Amino acid sequence: MAQDATRLSQEQSALREALNRLAEALSRPLLPPPRMSADVYEPPGGTTYVVEIPAPGLRSDEIKITVSGDMLTVEFQPHSTTPDDGRTYLVQELSRQPMARVFTFPTAIDPHHIQARLEGGMLRITVPKADGIPSHVIRVEEA
């Protein structure tokens, strides 16, 4: 009889701990994984595209850019997830996780003349259109 009571108490304790862990997990906000945000635009003149991506705290050797066809792939590959300088973070919101994003363009691009510059935590990639052909608007006629 005493063994049954002890076993029942242990099972109740284990169930209570499991419910506490579940409640704790459900109380945390469900956030999406980090996403690389960017601005992509065509500057005046229309012979290039510009991709601007915030890259705070990253160095140029932590960024990989590849191009294939009309697609540009940008990858962030941070070397270390935690700076080894003795900091104790109260809040740490800057992502130090690897992430990647693929950008496609509406016209052919010139992969041999793409330029990338990292300055002040902003990655700016200039992507020339193939043959430097500016975009143009096609007028639609009414029948």
Beta-bridge partners for 127? 49
Condensed to tens digits (0 to 9), the pLDDT of residues 81-114 reads 555 677 787 887 777 788 899 999 988 898 888 9
Residue 78's SS3 state is coil
Report the mean per-residue pLDDT for the chain. 82
Between CA 56 and CA 4 the distance in angstroms is: 59
pTM of the full structure: 0.66
Give the pLDDT confidence score for residue 86 in this predicted structure.
79
Give the pLDDT confidence score for residue 14 in this predicted structure.
86
The amino acid that residue 15 corresponds to is L
Between CA 93 and CA 80 the distance in angstroms is: 15
Q: How confident is the model at residue 12 (pLDDT cuts 50, 70, 90)?
A: confident
Mean pLDDT within 36-40:
93
